[in-house]
Amino acid sequence: MRTDQTQFKTTSLTLAIFLCTKGQRVVAMTKGGYKKEFAFIETPALLRLIEKYKFGPSEESDLLVPVHAYEYARNELLDRLNE
């Protein structure tokens, strides 16, 4: 794996789940007490998704996520954290 790529890191589980449902892949996870940190490769597409998640209007169609995809991503991330 290349190490010269910039990573976006977040401690927000809901943001990490959202990004996963939109096709972004978690490249690293760090567990430290109550805070869990999720790292993604920083790309223009990732940054656009983060911008929409944080500041987009709630009726934005790109913010909608199928419930099954959300649950799958949530379970996947939690399982990886508990390994």
pLDDT at 1: 41
Query: Once rounded to an integer, what is the mean pLDDT over residues 30-58?
Result: 90
> How many folded domains does the chain comprise?
1
> pTM for this structure?
0.86
Task: Kindly state whether residue 66 falls inside one of the protein's structural domains.
Answer: yes
Nearest to residue 25, comparing CAs of 48, 43, 41?
A: 41
pLDDT-derived band at 3 (thresholds 50, 70, 90) equals: low
Are 57 and 64 a contacting pair, CB within 8 Å?
A: no
Residue 37: which domain range?
7-81
Q: Is residue 29 part of a domain?
A: yes
State yes or no: pLDDT of 27 exceeds 50.
yes
Using the predicted structure, report yes or no on whether residue 63 has a pLDDT greater than 50.
Answer: yes
* 36 three-state secondary structure: strand
Q: Does residue 2 fall inside a structural domain? A: no
Q: Would you call 73 exposed, middle or buried from its count of C-beta atoms within 10 A (0-12, 13-18, 19+)?
A: buried
Residue 61 scores a pLDDT above 50: yes
Q: Does the residue 64 lie in any domain?
A: yes
